[in-house]
Structure 1
């Protein structure tokens, strides 16, 4: 019989366009996370990251969580949920106080953060994150702990991630309908960056490309925080659809062909290797199956990849990811499991590309250790860190010093330029 969840237990829930996955983890004495149970179900009610069928998605959530509960032998009540739909925006707001050279006290930091909270203008969107990223002392950026230091001016960069309100509310309603409490809804790029990027990569500058089933999120990290984000309404399921359409087969078989025979690279042998294809309407897959060359299959895959990588390249250019710093790209998500995609992306983007996989988890099943589960692992890391969020601040601390730039709301491109 399952027992009640102990204090401090973490349950992550990733609701994607192709799968719904859940993970129950427990923080260890040394701060590491130990996986107790995982669950996965096919996602039937999500399109391009948006919930299109509430009942179908709710059923998948229930089944994925119940599977994780059975493996862990624990009943859970609340979850940390990932949000990966398009419409996410990332901005960096800045605010400064005059201190007059005295020593920084906690009251000064509290007043600064409260004023920063009041200065945020989501412009009609729902704020998912409003976190103090780095502090500034007399114009010097990159201070993580200003308490106890002397300064004439104290400032802070506030990382704000917002999204369209309705999709977020639908996600929240779906999870609560499955009788689960939503601890927080986390933007997918924020979580994924924690699981497959090192602290040094986030500091020096790196682009994270999450190739999901229906959406590809391109995010830019610099100075230790996410400074740019854009979404592309294409993903790995579009490759599957192209294969199904080109060869007149069902999506299920097209997916198998992509996973077992498909590749982003080509070789002379592809022209001689034959792959059986069952056409739509053919009931018996063992008889009268037509055959195609592997070269034909890879040609369809590469045509779609060419279009997708072109969109990724344009997104990186718009985010000002260029110059000597803009060289490292980390590819993750379910689409990153396609054979040869890292080599293809490296040639197409002209940058160093590696595959990002979840790391730092003890007891993670091998089946859930690939790039498709990077967001799920990142949600657990985010929950364990439980970073400060300005939305949770209460009260109105008295401002001891005169604030400067209360209305300043810097766009992400300006912040990125400052880092490059």
Structure 2
């Protein structure tokens, strides 16, 4: 950063909006918002950049607004990545010890053995989070140093992304004359903004209802342990409204936000809505029931796909009781109640935990990823390296192994 203060900048490049946040971290580790910026996202479809020039302009303008408000200039940002192609799995690595006490060299050898296991063909590793150690099949060991064992193991949770769309995000940011401090999987960032520590530890499902993509992630033991991407989002609801009533997209979005709901009401048949079908034309009057019926069809599809994703990932039983929905789509009226009925689980709307100075307009679920990025960046850099492996060139230089070794050393 160009300022002497401890400044943190977050950038969320979404399908509907590009938003930026600049915060200052005090000596006690607390964050205070200095400036924010937002621009309509252009050149992004289903979470992936499809027009580099338009995306670069949106990034530059959003960051410029945040800089003007804060009165500071930033050099690099922590950015999100939410496109399809995100994968999540657990890598099990172990080494033979022959019964001698565990030494630091054994831990380094363990991670060396896991280097190839964490590589992904045609993908880039975004996060590699070492979980607890395993000693001779006994799991949950926090500190194995000094313990006698025949085999030492560790589970490494890996989140990877397709290389090409990740490169496009990296390039769009650098084209706006900004450095890339880290690129974070959006579900990992959002979890740090709207889930409690108990939820993340005991087990919870997070459903991010974005504009073009719905990401379903499972969190347990304090980390993301499962991930599924659905290429449908809240903007598809607006598109359905536009096509059903012949209204412009902007008016369809307005109708959804002001009059829409995920559940029917007995009063809906009597409430009339003016649908502006075109410039200079007389508005067409429809009932709210007609609008809700169109919305429900798409919401039913999304909810069914979310339910299927949760079942495929084994989200059931005692650890499958709580679901949190976030993202801009979670703002739809009665969305949590509707999904609770479909999923048969407790569902609440996840909003980002407030930051001093955060504008009220950014305190909704649509800004969970942005706030989560700032919170991750504010953590001690050595503590967060297991979550954010930085820019692409660092990953190509073998930074993953070195950082995993450092994380496990600290955990020891």
User: What is the TM-score with the length of structure 1 in the denominator?
Assistant: 0.88
In structure 2, the CA distance between the partners of 1:396 and 1:277, relative to structure 1 (3 Å rule), is closer
Matches within 5 A, 1:11-410: 11-99=9-97, 104-143=102-141, 145-146=142-143, 148=145, 150-152=147-149, 153-280=151-278, 282-283=279-280, 288-359=282-353, 361-385=355-379, 386=381, 387-389=384-386, 392=399
Distance 1:397 1:325 in 2: 28
In structure 2, the CA distance between the partners of 1:137 and 1:364, relative to structure 1 (3 Å rule), is farther
Deviations 1:66-118 (A, max 9, x none): 11111111000101110000110001111123445655444433332333224
In structure 2, the CA distance between the partners of 1:232 and 1:70, relative to structure 1 (3 Å rule), is same
In structure 2, the CA distance between the partners of 1:303 and 1:68, relative to structure 1 (3 Å rule), is same
In structure 2, the CA distance between the partners of 1:397 and 1:17, relative to structure 1 (3 Å rule), is closer
Q: Is the 8 A contact 1:20 1:61 kept in 2?
A: yes
In structure 2, the CA distance between the partners of 1:158 and 1:338, relative to structure 1 (3 Å rule), is same
Distance 1:142 1:38 in 2: 42
Q: Is the 8 A contact 1:209 1:219 kept in 2?
A: yes
Following TM superposition, by how much is the alpha carbon of 1:138 offset from its aligned partner in structure 2, in angstroms?
Answer: 3.7
- Structure 2: runs of 5 or more not aligned: 390-397, 406-412
Q: How many corresponding residue pairs? A: 391
In structure 2, the CA distance between the partners of 1:149 and 1:251, relative to structure 1 (3 Å rule), is farther
Deviations 1:116-170 (A, max 9, x none): 2243231321211222133223433334x41655241432211111111110111
Distance 2:17 2:354 in 1: 23
Following TM superposition, by how much is the alpha carbon of 1:396 offset from its aligned partner in structure 2, in angstroms?
Answer: 12
Distance 2:355 2:46 in 1: 29
Distance 1:395 1:89 in 2: 22
Distance 2:404 2:228 in 1: 35
Q: Secondary structure at the match of 1:63?
A: helix
Q: Secondary structure at the match of 2:303?
A: helix
Q: Secondary structure at the match of 2:318?
A: coil
Q: Secondary structure at the match of 1:113?
A: helix
- Which structure features the higher share of helix residues? 2
- Structure 1: runs of 5 or more not aligned: 399-420
Deviations 1:165-224 (A, max 9, x none): 110111111111000011111111111111111222122111110000000001111222
Q: Is the 8 A contact 1:113 1:132 kept in 2?
A: no
Q: Is the 8 A contact 2:19 2:36 kept in 1?
A: yes
Q: Is the 8 A contact 2:133 2:144 kept in 1?
A: no
Distance 1:162 1:217 in 2: 14
Q: Secondary structure at the match of 2:320?
A: coil
Which sits farther off after the overlay, 52-61 or 133-142?
133-142
Distance 1:201 1:343 in 2: 20
Distance 2:106 2:69 in 1: 48
